[in-house]
């Protein structure tokens, strides 16, 4: 018969073996080889149908050089109906953002001469169709308009060429340089005092 001391020693050894085995099992359970499961930016973007590198604001930006403005018939005199019409043709470069607003400064006539006011406008058209205009910049254009005498075409549809026209009720067929603002995407571009506009009644 083995001694009681030997049995006690055997129990101690077995206890140590069981403790080590338990630690090994615990270690494997806590480290299963998996990585952080927090959704990455790429995964979230894919879920929403977006590229993770896309800037939500980048797609709304536009470039001023993508828009050319041609003024037709400046200073050509008064039509037969006595209502001289001014036409602004804006052509977009391929891939350019569509225009939402066009604003023309009417207050370009130096004192003491009388300039054009919004009340002198009797008709307006966009691409040959009647189109409403307003005398206020309104809100949300992002344009730094300081003039109190303007004409604004807004809510413009998508197009490659915009022909904006308005007719006046008297012979404002003199002309001087004035300013124009174009809103395209989330950017408002200004042509500062370089575009022809009606000025000074005869």
Helix (H, G, I), strand (E, B) or coil at 174: strand
Q: Which two tokens stand for residue 71?
A: 């003024």
Q: Tell me, what's the pLDDT at 173?
A: 60
Look at residues 62, 142, 144 and name the one whose alpha carbon lies nearest to residue 98.
62
**Model-level pTM?**
0.68
Long-range contacts of 77-81 (CB under 8 A, 24+ apart): 77/171, 77/173, 78/171, 78/173, 78/202
Distance CA 166, CA 11 (A): 105
> Are 106 and 149 spatial neighbours (Cβ–Cβ below 8 Å)?
yes
List the chain pLDDT tens, one digit each, 202 residues. Answer: 444 443 444 454 555 545 555 554 445 444 444 444 444 444 444 444 444 344 545 589 999 999 999 998 655 555 555 458 899 999 999 999 999 999 999 999 888 887 899 999 999 999 999 999 999 998 878 899 999 999 999 999 999 999 999 998 877 667 889 999 999 999 999 999 999 998 876 5
> Are 44 and 54 spatial neighbours (Cβ–Cβ below 8 Å)?
no
HSE, side-chain direction, 13 A CA sphere, residue 103: 29
Q: Tell me, what's the pLDDT at 111?
A: 83
Alpha helices in 48-125 (DSSP H): none
Domains of the chain: 61-199 (2.60.40.290)
């Amino acid at each position: 018969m083995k001694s009681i001391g030997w049995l006690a020693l055997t129990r101690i050894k077995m206890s140590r073996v069981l403790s080590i085995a338990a630690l090994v099992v615990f270690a494997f359970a806590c480290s299963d080889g998996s990585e952080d499961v927090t959704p990455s930016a790429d995964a979230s973007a894919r879920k929403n149908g977006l590229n993770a590198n896309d800037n939500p604001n980048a797609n709304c930006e536009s470039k001023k050089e993508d828009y050319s403005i041609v003024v037709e018939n400046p200073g050509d005199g008064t039509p037969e109906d006595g209502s001289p019409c001014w036409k602004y043709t804006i052509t977009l470069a391929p891939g350019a953002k569509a225009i939402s607003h066009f604003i023309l400064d009417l207050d370009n006539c130096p004192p003491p001469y009388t300039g054009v006011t919004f009340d002198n406008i009797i008709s307006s058209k966009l691409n040959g169709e009647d189109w409403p205009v307003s005398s206020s910049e309104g809100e949300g254009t992002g344009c730094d308009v300081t003039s109190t005498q303007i004409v604004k075409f807004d809510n413009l549809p998508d197009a490659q060429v915009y022909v904006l026209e308005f007719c006046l009720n008297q012979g404002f067929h003199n002309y001087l340089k004035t300013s124009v603002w174009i809103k395209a995407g989330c950017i408002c571009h200004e042509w500062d005092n370089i575009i022809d506009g009606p000025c000074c009644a005869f």
